[in-house]
Structure 1
Amino acid sequence: MRTIARLSAEEFEQCVEELAALLADAVDDGASLGFVTPFGQESAAAWWRAQAPAVAAGSQLVWVGRLDGVLAGTVSLIPAAKANARHRAEIVKLMVHRDARGQGLARALLATAEQAAFDAGARLLLLDTETGSTAEHVYLSGGWTRYGVVPGYAASPDGTLRDCSFFYKRLAPPA
């Protein structure tokens, strides 16, 4: 059974170790999420703990996806803080455990974050991902528009510079 839930600040604190295991798995599997190897559970937990103030303040919204009760994916939404940008938000850290891929969890997490952004008044979403990655395919097939590619933008976990694709999606009410 699949469930997706937004984490409260308290729930987030309780899930840090599970989120850390997910992040460590994604980096170990080569996902370009902003980290380079060596990177393990301890570093991943420290990164997630550093997000706790933003989660508590509501400036970072975090959802988790569970398959049969096991945390298998996550996505975060960061609403823009600038007064002239309140109509937009950014999707960050969408990841699914390698053993749970291919079951639609990434798409479900993304759709959940998109709907929450719309419900909160956002009409434009932004994100970036490694060019040619599986994640890029998820965004392209999910109605996102690539507006540019920057060569050598970020290092993959092994330190190799990779191109990065930048995407946007305009949000509209359901038809």
Structure 2
Amino acid sequence: MSLTIRELFAAEAEAQIPALGTLLRHCVEDGASVGFVMPFPQQEAEAFWTNSVLPALRGGHRILWAGFAGEALVGTVQLDLAAMPNQRHRAEVSKMLVAPSHRRRGIARALMQALLARAAEEGRSLITLDTRSGDAAQPLYAACGFAVAGEIPGYALAPDGSPHSDPTTIMYRAS
């Protein structure tokens, strides 16, 4: 598998909206706890990218990376840049997505490496994220230098809309 990780600027992200929507929808359908509940139609998935991500990319408040296996979009991650003057040293990891058919191939790790390198370039010395406690991504985040700050029970609903039995783990990486 030939993997390419690259930053997607607003114009290219806009051209990729159908593929981005499909990736998000497949991840949610596979049980990813990334903010959405079932049923999760393609139009709602595409609306997330169009209405939330594109404006933030254009405004310079978010950076988006995509992983491609050949021409196929197989993963994304975002870095949300804090906008308040007393928070310019930190940023947040958002929407780490890897296509269920392409997991366990190093895509998430490559995306995180790109994100962390850029965060350092941006002078962001504190990076935070949240993940479902016990999620398969949690060991990856730990391997990338993230420590657990704590857990919050009842933080999010499960993808089926029911109360989540697992708490959410808040993690951070300080450099």
Residue 88 of structure 2: aligned partner: 86
**Superposition deviation, residue 165 in structure 1:** 0.1
155, 165, 171: which one aligns with 2:169? 165
Question: Residues 29 and 98 of structure 1 are in contact (CA less than 8 Å); yes or no, is this contact kept in structure 2?
Answer: yes
CA RMSD of the aligned region, Å?
A: 0.9
Residue 36 of structure 1: aligned partner: 37
Alignment of 1:13-162 (within 5 A): 13-50=14-51, 51-162=53-164
Mapped to 1, the partners of 2:45 and 2:78 lie a distance apart of 15
Deviations 1:66-119 (A, max 9, x none): 012210000000111010110000000001000000000001101111110100
Deviations 1:3-39 (A, max 9, x none): 0110111111101111000000000000000000000
Question: Residues 65 and 109 of structure 1 are in contact (CA less than 8 Å); yes or no, is this contact kept in structure 2?
Answer: yes
Letter in 1 for 2:170: F
How many residues align? The count is 171
Aligned partner of residue 64 in structure 1, secondary structure: strand
Aligned partner of residue 33 in structure 1, secondary structure: coil
TM (norm. structure 2) is: 0.95
1:12 and 2:16 correspond: no
% same residue: 40
**Superposition deviation, residue 170 in structure 1:** 1.2
Question: Residues 153 and 161 of structure 1 are in contact (CA less than 8 Å); yes or no, is this contact kept in structure 2?
Answer: no
TM (norm. structure 1) is: 0.95
Letter in 2 for 1:58: G
- Structure 1: any 5+ residue segments left out of the alignment? none
Mapped to 2, the partners of 1:53 and 1:84 lie a distance apart of 23
Mapped to 1, the partners of 2:12 and 2:108 lie a distance apart of 21
Letter in 2 for 1:142: C
- Structure 2: any 5+ residue segments left out of the alignment? none
Aligned partner of residue 92 in structure 2, secondary structure: strand
**Superposition deviation, residue 143 in structure 1:** 1.6
Question: Residues 78 and 89 of structure 1 are in contact (CA less than 8 Å); yes or no, is this contact kept in structure 2?
Answer: yes
